[in-house]
Amino acid sequence: MKHLKKQLQQGATLHGCWLNLGSAVTAEIVGLSGFDWVLLDLEHGAGTEKDVYHQLQALEHTPAAAIVRIESAQRQRIHRILDMGAEGIMCPRISNTAEAAAVASGLHYPPDGTRGVAKMVRATSFGQNFQNYYQQAKENIVGIVQIETIEVLDHLDEIAALDGIDVLFIGPADLTMALGIFGQFDHPLYLDAVKATVNAANKAGKATGILFFNAGEYARYSSMGIRMIACGADATFVADAARNMASTLQTLRSSGKTGMP
């Protein structure tokens, strides 16, 4: 474990990005690049659970803590990914307190939750480290729910107060879509929702997170009190670099600077 939860509890601002290619190679490259955490995306990413397993192995020796976004809050989905060795779980489209409570419960072993017990899994070094893992899991596992629906805005305080929910993570695209203002990130409805989320998290001593793709937005969200900040994804890093290189070469070719005598 890389103590992501402890850092959040101490008030740190932590930088991350998405991994949505399902590739262990890009996971390792990004993990070594200087991010505090990365998110392996099973909701919209190209990878499967099998790919997540290999990505977690690739990330093990990097400084980046590994969070996995699952597709639903089913208990079995949660503990299967935790058994693979993920440091935290993100669950999308949480709409009410009961759904958030189900996520929190699924993260932890009884008596604190409903996570199933298995010793021979990667998270426990295949049984060699079960007791230590069991004793430290609650203080290490990060629980993240996404704020993406209209309904959830009426339950922010209750959700933030739940033991086991550590981060309220705003999904700008889905949230603005739900509000009927898709992509309008300067709209008062969206900004009010962001402020309400930050206020609820702060009152409960929790953190707020967000994903964006333009680093120029950093100051805006940081100044609002958001501390778990993600910018970009492995797919966009590859795509942007490829387009930039192709454009540069085309410009050189057009200018006649081919290097030929």
Q: Which domains does the chain have, with CATH numbers?
A: 4-235 (3.20.20.60)
Low-confidence ranges of the chain (pLDDT < 70): 257-261
- Whether 61 sits among the annotated catalytic residues: the reply is no
Q: What 3-state class would DSSP assign to 86?
A: coil
Rounded-to-integer distance, Cα 16 and Cα 36, Å: 6
Q: What 3-state class would DSSP assign to 29?
A: helix
Residue 46 is encoded by which pair of tokens? 């190209």
How much is the pLDDT for 62? 98
How much is the pLDDT for 171? 97
Residue 29's Cβ-side half-sphere holds a number of Cα atoms within 13 Å equal to 13
Q: Say what the pTM is.
A: 0.95
How much is the pLDDT for 261? 53
How much is the pLDDT for 260? 56
How much is the pLDDT for 21? 98
How much is the pLDDT for 37? 98
pLDDT in tens, 38-84: 999 999 999 999 999 999 999 999 999 999 999 988 888 999 999 99
Among 44, 54, 79, 155, the one annotated catalytic: 44
